Amino acid sequence: MRSQVYHSLNGFDELFFAHQEEIDLCWRMQLSGWLVYVCPHSVVYHVGGGSLPKGDPRKVYLNYRNSLIMLYKNYSFAEKLWKIPFRLVLDGISVIQQLLAGNKGYAGIVLKAHFAFYKWLLSAKDKKYFPVKRVAHPNGIYSGSVVWKYFIQKKRTFTEIIG
């Protein structure tokens, strides 16, 4: 990414610190009219769980909180009206699934993330990390239901889900 673009969008949202910060930045780039490309032949070496190991409650919390904030920041008003409540229902279903699997602490972590999101909604949000302008519609957003494909149709990989 060009440094001029990065700085014009105020870079990564400092609230995120980990989890979804790069998705949020790319989404803001696209909404501002910039093109985002993928180089499928690139090789990326990533230390999985370098910041927080798999299964760490803080990781679950940040994933839920940050993704809700990211959706709110980047969806249009009309999209927020139905997509965020739908997402909250899906979060509730995931909590039930985890409770049935015996993971009792999961519900508390998700609730904590939801309350952090609600607190953020009521706060004086730092607008510098919102899309600068909405001149374009982002590309690369899957129009189907990943939940349906994964849980009902048992599609387990990215390639299976997008067909």
pLDDT score recorded for residue 70:
95
Low-confidence ranges of the chain (pLDDT < 70): 48-49
Which residues does 21 contact at the CB level (< 8 Å), separation at least 6? 12, 13, 66
Residue whose C-alpha is closest to residue 129's, from 2, 24, 1, 20 = 24
pLDDT score recorded for residue 49:
67
* Alpha-helix runs per DSSP H in 75-104: 77-100
pLDDT score recorded for residue 78:
92
Token output for 89? 């229902």
Mean pLDDT of the chain: 89
Rg (CA), the chain: 17
pLDDT score recorded for residue 89:
92
Determine the Cα angle at 141 with ends 157 and 126, to 5°: 120
